[in-house]
Amino acid sequence: MNENKKKGILVLPAVILVALATQIPLIITVYNSMIRWIIVRPDLSKKFIGSQYYKKIFTSDEFWLVFQNTMVLTVISLAACLALGTLLAFLLHRQFTGVGIVRTLLISPFFLMDSVIGVFWRNVMLNPSFGLLYYFYKFFSLTPPDMLAEAPLFFIIILVIWKWTPFFMLVLLAGLQSIPEEVLEAAVVDGANAWNKTIYVILPMVMKYITISLLLGLIFILKTFGLVFTTTRGGPGFASTNFPYYVYRIAFLGWNVGKSSAIAVVIIIISLAIILVLFKLLRKTITEVEV
Amino acid sequence: MIKKILVLLVILATIATASLAKNVTLTIATVNNPDMKIMESLSSQFTKETGIKLSWVILPENELRQKITEDVALGAGKFDIVTIGIIEVKNWVNYGWITPLDPFFTDMDTTAKKAYDLDDVLQSVREGLSAKGQLYALPFYGETSITYYRKDLFEKAGLTMPKEPSWNQILDFATKLHDPDNGFYGLCLRGLPGWGENMAVFGTMINAFGGRWYDMDWNAQFDTPEMKNAFEFYNTLIKEVSEPGATGVGFTEGLTLMAQGKAGIWYDASVGAGLLNDPSQSKVVGKLGYARAPYAKKHNNGWLWSWSLAMESASKHKKEAFKFLTWVTSKDYINLVGETKSWVNAPSGSRKSTYENPKYQKVADFAPLVLSAMRAVDYNHPSILPTPYIGTPFVVFPEWPHLGSEVAQQLAATIAGKKTIDEALKACQKIANEVAEEGGYKQ
Amino acid sequence: MKKTSSAIVTVITFIIAIIYFFPIFWMIISGFKHEIDVVNLTFPFTLTLENFKTIFSGKVSHYFMNSIYITLVSTSLSMMLGVPVSYALVMSKFKRGDDLFFWFISTTLLPPVGIVIPVYIIFKCLNMLDTYCGLILMYTAVNIPLVIWMMRSFFKDIPRELIEASKIDGATELTTFFRIILPLSRHGLSATILLVIVFIWNEFFFALHLTYTRAATLPVHVAAYMTQEGLFWAKMCAISTVAILPPLLAGWINQKQLVRGLTMGAVKG
């Protein structure tokens, strides 16, 4: 079988399916972003208005606040997940009885539905009147903080970290376990102490895993929606609205297809830019990194 | 001979259509509250009686609204029966998304019509569910907003709650009962941002304080002193005498607080009464008193809300759908709930006869108050000032979910200390004006 | 000395794991309490099975089976369509391989909330609303890029020498794939399968908008237990416990595989 035919058979089915299911809606969304179409006002005819929504978006205060929120949420979550995940990976890399149980306990949050995490934490855990938080603080005779109002973005960040750290932990653990023992032993024989061992021996070998977890984590955390929806509703005001929730607000409360499509397009472009930059950056600065 | 054949044909045809009818499945979209859950569980009775099967889509309120709106507006038309509120009825009639029910009532035979007794349905609710002179939905239950208070604690503190308190009185009472160090709050009030959550309560406050959303030329009115008063008073109530974490408190959370005995006064939906008097869920059974919604400059501020069932115009089984609509909103159904579940859970706020039923009166000491409150609502005149819109407490136009949610967020920002009241008012003013312009209301 | 410090670290690890898992433990326990006890922290409380009874007297099995069916089929399809692409990207000379790879990744950046309305309309026109087929297609398409990404990394890890050796031995490409490559990357395969299963099982947004009654999945049903006008915390915890069991089970079974690590010591050893 000639080479091209083979490549075609291997690759085409996936390409076709993914293209149909994602690119067609994308093209429609781009088109929608340039028309005025409000679903609950069929009496207002669909009108082509070009880039009006784009202008509105970039000149609105809310967009920049949402942009900031999304960046803060993503960067802090990724950093914390990476740090915490690394720590946990090291702890699990040892041999001890019950390591399997510990691992199961630690990865469980990743399997929960976002909406369940949100509703549960907001009410049963952190509600300042009848949640666990309340009883915890009452034990010390203090009044609990109202996290939802005072630090809504932080609230969501905590949930994101709780959910995603197990993922980072698993990937980094796999990375640690892929380092052959001889390499580590050789480093010890060479007289390298623990710190040097980490930096010069372990780090380059797990770099690939760090990159994978960071990039995957980035893509998914950028799309965080369920957690926002079930906890803060993006509020108060726009304080905890991130990109996807902003689209939701305009699309399903405002029923404004045009504006929400425009926001979606902007988001996609920004996400693409971020990923592109990261790809290039990682390739340039760290040798031998394959993503 | 021919006559016999004709008769035979008619009989065969009847059997055929009857069996066809037996294969009809109605798809119903409804909200996930206890009354609807009871409806789902009792509907097997309906299937037994008529052979019509039912397929349910049950979702929380927000998701339900989105799904139904999507279905009617984007034309999929997969629901036969949808559970909507007064606001959707008024808005959707213009687009022909739901079917008027009057023709079906005309087609009903006299015994069925008498048994259904449309006049028994509360007039304010019937009017709410009508538009252009026709009835478009039948109410499953209706509610208004009332003031719940702890009779026992009021007595102990020597306080008396009038039948219709003023907001100042509420503040006063709540201050006297407020004891946050012991986990007890004078007042419990919704703060959860949402057009149907904090805005339901706050919307009545805007009306009570003599404000309105738009003047007759569709200019936004957030720069008026009445609106500012409403914002300020709401802030005072929340910050000084209410539960912490108000921005997370919607109806369910408020109900939880009140049922746990953690609040002295609760201003919210009348449907909470049944739940608060259910010993398996509430610690304050028998300790509650009831009063009307508070007034300030305007009286009669209770809201009007009814979860009602309507038929999508796209439905292919309208006759069967109508059968279910009338079955589940009939006196017989209410009796069924009362007898099989409990009378305190019987759907209320829809029919006069429920309130006249001695079995209901026995368990629902709040019934007379709720009935008078529902009767007093004037849906068409929400404010003491003239308005280009109707609706208590919402602004009935299709843009309401958008306007309501955005203002709700601004309000929540004020109680969370993220914005000053003036900043929030300015933002609301901008949003409301934009909505009026983009929607083509303001010329 | 080393033994005690090692023991201490082990204890600390256990403590961290218990604290981390605590909210889930609390959720599971709350499913067995009466509604009134969930928010009141009464101690001791009576355990009850009433919440589970309520759940199972409903239609949960319908949604549960739907989720199982849709998850299994979508995951299998994603793997069957995605793995060949990874293979091609790694093993064959691909002029614009990197671009193709990047294109696949770019499709994962689409937020579901942004494209759901066009998808809804397309599905409506094609009569695919509320069908298993429709949801499976969406889930497969959305997860293929993930499969490609992960398997590409794992395939890259396979030492070339092994593949060359197999070729020299006269094996066909297909045989090499099944005899050498697949077994060596089985840990990667398990990890990828687990990840895809978890994502599809918990997916809510598309399920909500693209299904009605027939094809609705478990997350949609779980939503029905939230924000009722009544106390529902215990019931929600109960059904969440039911909903988390399959992914948890899959994860527990799978992580035994993951333990072995991705050592490619076959040549070196």
Output the pLDDT for position A171. 83
Output the pLDDT for position C229. 57
CA distances from A8 to A12, C88, C184 (A): 5, 9, 25
Give tens-digit pLDDT for B314-326: 999 999 999 999 9
Q: Is the peptide bond before A236 cis (omega within 30 degrees of 0)?
A: yes
Give tens-digit pLDDT for B2-39: 677 777 776 766 665 554 445 789 999 998 877 888 88
CA distance C156 to B109: 77
Output the pLDDT for position B113. 87
Output the pLDDT for position A211. 84
Q: Higher-confidence residue: B276 or A235? A: B276
CA distance B419 to A103: 44
Residue A195 has pLDDT above 70, yes or no: no
Residue C195 CA, chain-centre distance (Å), reads: 4
Which chains does C contact via 3+ CB–CB distances below 8 A?
A, B
| Class level of CATH domain B2-143+305-364 | alpha beta
CA distance C263 to A90: 17
We find that the CATH architecture of domain C58-263 is Orthogonal Bundle (1.10)
Residue A288 has pLDDT above 50, yes or no: no
Output the pLDDT for position A289. 43
* C197 contacts: CB under 8 Å, gap ≥ 6: C71, C75, C247, C250
DSSP state letters, B292-304: PPPBSSSS-----
**Side chain identity at residue A24, one-letter code:** I
CA distance B225 to B210: 10
B253:A123 CB<8 A: yes
Topology alike, domains B2-143+305-364 and B145-302+376-438: yes
Output the pLDDT for position B241. 93
| Mean pLDDT of the B331-349 span | 86
CA distance B67 to B51: 27
We find that the CATH architecture of domain B145-302+376-438 is 3-Layer(aba) Sandwich (3.40)
The partner residue sitting opposite B418, judged by closest CB among A129, A234, A239, is A239
> Residue A117 burial (CB < 10 Å; 0-12/13-18/19+)?
buried
Question: Hey, is the C-beta of B259 within 8 angstroms of any chain C C-beta?
Answer: yes
Angle between helix A3-18 and C97-107 (nearest 10)? 20
Q: Higher-confidence residue: C62 or A185? A: C62
User: Of A139-153, A209-223, B159-173, which gets the smallest average pLDDT?
Assistant: A139-153
| Mean pLDDT of the B275-295 span | 89
Question: Hey, is the C-beta of C223 within 8 angstroms of any chain B C-beta?
Answer: yes
Best mutation site among A129, A146, A147 for testing chain B: the one with the most B CBs within 10 Å?
A129
- Say what the pTM is: 0.86
Residue C235 has pLDDT above 90, yes or no: no
Output the pLDDT for position B296. 94
Angle between helix A152-177 and C186-202 (nearest 10)? 160
Max avg pLDDT among A30-44, A190-204, B150-164: B150-164
Please give the structure tokens belonging to residue C227. Answer: 């924000």
CA distance A172 to A168: 6
A24:C118 CB<8 A: yes
User: Of A136-140, B132-136, C212-216, which gets the smallest average pLDDT?
Assistant: A136-140
Give tens-digit pLDDT for B173-215: 999 999 988 889 999 999 988 898 899 999 999 999 999 999 9
Q: Which chain A positions have a beta carbon within 8 Å of C115's beta carbon?
A: 22, 25-26, 28-29, 264
Provide the 3-class DSSP secondary structure of residue C172. Answer: coil
CA distance A11 to C75: 18
Give tens-digit pLDDT for A144-174: 777 777 888 998 999 999 999 998 998 888 7
Q: How confident is the model at residue C49 (pLDDT cuts 50, 70, 90)?
A: confident
Q: Which chain C positions have a beta carbon within 8 Å of A29's beta carbon?
A: 114-115, 118
* A50 contacts: CB under 8 Å, gap ≥ 6: A34
CA distance C133 to B327: 36
Output the pLDDT for position B164. 94
Give tens-digit pLDDT for C187-208: 778 888 988 999 999 999 999 9
| Class level of CATH domain A37-290 | mainly alpha
CA distance A171 to A86: 9
CA distance C167 to C145: 29
| Mean pLDDT of the B93-113 span | 90
| Mean pLDDT of the B62-73 span | 90
B57:C216 CB<8 A: yes
Output the pLDDT for position C2. 61
Dihedral class, residue A191 (left if φ above 0, else alpha if ψ from -120 to 50, else beta): left
Output the pLDDT for position C191. 80
Output the pLDDT for position C269. 26
pLDDT over 70 for what percent of chain A? Answer: 89
What are the structural domain ranges in chain B? 2-143+305-364, 145-302+376-438
User: What is the sign of the dihedral through the CA atoms of C237, C243, C249 and C254?
Assistant: negative
| Mean pLDDT of the B73-79 span | 88
What are the structural domain ranges in chain A? 37-290
B244:A236 CB<8 A: no
| Mean pLDDT of the A116-142 span | 78
Q: How confident is the model at residue B62 (pLDDT cuts 50, 70, 90)?
A: confident
Question: Hey, is the C-beta of C225 within 8 angstroms of any chain B C-beta?
Answer: yes
C231:B59 CB<8 A: no
B32:C227 CB<8 A: yes
A143:B180 CB<8 A: yes
